[in-house]
């Protein structure tokens, strides 16, 4: 976990007020330590990097960022769910996996 100064130091032109605004908008949700100071986890740092890239590199408007974050969160949630389903299928007996594969393949090929 890192504090806001260490976080900001990782980005060439990121201002503390920007990060504070992102936290206030709940785009990033750091934890509070025993002194009630924000501490950022690796996930928080990745989220800040994403927001930073959206704003700086992709020039996404500030009012569009929540939509982008929501859509990306949905994609990540779907990936996690798919990974869980894949793991569950892999733990099934061969005949069950074959039946699932056949159904998925049939559904995929008949999507017209």
Higher pLDDT, 56 or 108: 56
pLDDT, tens only, 74-85: 999 999 999 999
The band of 71, judged by pLDDT with boundaries at 50, 70 and 90, is very high
pLDDT at 105: 87
Query: Judging by DSSP bridges, how do beta strands 38-39 and 31-32 pair with one another?
Result: antiparallel
pLDDT at 106: 85
pLDDT at 58: 95
| pTM (whole model) above 0.85 | no
69 closest CA partner among 42, 90, 48:
48
pLDDT, tens only, 13-57: 999 999 999 999 999 999 999 999 999 999 999 999 999 999 999
Distance of CA 4 to the CA centre of its chain: 20
């Amino acid at each position: 976990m890192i504090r806001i100064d260490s976080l900001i130091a990782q980005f060439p032109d990121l201002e503390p007020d920007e990060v504070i605004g992102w936290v206030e908008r709940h785009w990033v949700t750091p934890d509070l330590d025993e002194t009630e100071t924000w501490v950022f986890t690796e996930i928080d740092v990745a989220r800040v990097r994403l927001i930073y890239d959206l704003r700086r590199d992709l020039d996404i408007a500030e009012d569009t960022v929540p939509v982008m974050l929501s859509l990306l969160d949905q994609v990540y949630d779907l990936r996690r769910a798919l990974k869980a389903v894949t793991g569950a299928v892999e733990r099934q007996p061969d005949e069950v996996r074959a039946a699932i594969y056949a159904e998925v393949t049939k559904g995929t090929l008949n999507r017209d």
